[in-house]
Amino acid sequence: MVQRVAVIGAGSSGLACIKSCVEEGLDPVCFESSDDIGGIWKFRESSDSERNRIYRSLVVNTSKEMMCFSDFPMPADYPNYMHNSQLLQYFRLYAEHFDLLRYIKFQTSVKTITPREDFPVTGQWDVVTVTQGGEEEQHIFDAILVCSGHYNQPIFPLSHLKGHDIFSGRCFHSRDYSDGDAFRGKRVVVVGVGNSGGDITVEISRAANKTFLSTREGAWVVGRMSTNGLPMDMTALTRFNSFLAWLTPKSLANWAAERALNYKYDHQLYGLKPKHRAKNISV
């Protein structure tokens, strides 16, 4: 008897799981709450409370050579670092090539997952789904693969920012950011120097009257490109570098990494130098 597998989410992980199930002779059914594949990589003009939204200009920070599925290389004409629309198109090509769309039920959310009464014997699960129209359906599955991602709940600690309740301007999370046009002529502060914070600050600075980037602890800033114009992750994440890091004393590795990073721009000079060391970043 063929085992039925529920796959929750049709993003990058969900698509790969569907394909793996089919290859293993299983019967996958994928439930996707939206009307399309791609998960977080599907740009939407408006955000909702159930899923995060990427900003219009977002470019991936992992090179195509490192990011592609091992059995389906990205098109040769794709740039090293793709715009989000190109990555979504790649997922479409992947789903079409392996005929994955027929296993997906769109606009269907998983409401509950509970072990059956005979779970200790059968290992089966009761799954209740609900369509966008409110129609509920009960299913029995032999296994569950949760591929819903972990970026749905924004961290927005306004309660720690004194005076936010009397601030006359707008306070919002990056999930609600689309592009910099809305900030033309304004004074803007971006809190956080992660990937999104850095991207959004640069983009807003082209339109805003004044832009500030606030970082509590600083950060070692690593660019996308390495020597000879090659992607950083391609040159850094190698077996040789891993072996070298294992042999090299951590203090020496930190010194070498920080020296290379500071050669591009002095982190102390720009107020970015953090208290923690660069550890074993290879540059």
The 3-state DSSP class for residue 213 equals strand
Residues 18 and 109 in one domain: yes
- Compute the distance between CA of residue 91 and CA of residue 42 in angstroms, rounded to an integer: 10
Residue 259 lies in a domain: no
**163 in the same domain as 140:** no
Q: Characterize 128-141 residue by residue with b for buried, 16 or more Cβ atoms within 10 angstroms of its Cβ, and e for exposed.
A: ebbeeeeeeeeeeb
User: Quick one: what percent of the chain has pLDDT higher than 90?
Assistant: 69
Q: Which of 146, 181, 203 corresponds to the end of one domain?
A: 146
Q: Which tokens hold the place of 71?
A: 């059995």
The domain containing residue 168 runs over which residues? Answer: 158-214
Average pLDDT, the chain: 91
Which residues touch 125 (CB under 8 Å, ≥6 apart)?
Answer: 6, 113, 114, 115, 116, 119, 140, 141, 142, 143, 144
Residue 75 included in any domain? yes
Q: How many domains does the chain have?
A: 2
Is 107 within the bounds of a domain?
A: yes
Q: What is the mean pLDDT of residues 40-56?
A: 80
CATH number for position 109: 3.50.50.60
pLDDT at 280: 46
Tell which residue, 23, 40, 22, has the closest CA to residue 32.
Answer: 40
Asked if 163 and 69 sit in the same domain, the reply is no
Percent of the chain clearing pLDDT 70 (strictly above) = 97
- Name the pTM for this structure: 0.88
Rounded to whole angstroms, the Cα distance separating 207 from 179 reads 10
**140 lies in the same domain as 162:** no
Residues 219, 213: Cα–Cα separation, whole Å? 12
Structure tokens at 79: 């740039």
- Domain co-membership, 117 together with 22: yes
Instruction: Evaluate whether 17 touches 103 at the Cβ level (below 8 Å).
Output: no
Residues 166 and 107 in one domain: no
- The pLDDT tens digits for 94-141 are 999 999 999 999 999 999 999 999 999 999 999 999 999 999 999 999
pLDDT in tens, 53-73: 889 999 999 999 999 999 999
CA atoms within 13 A on the CB side of 186: 13
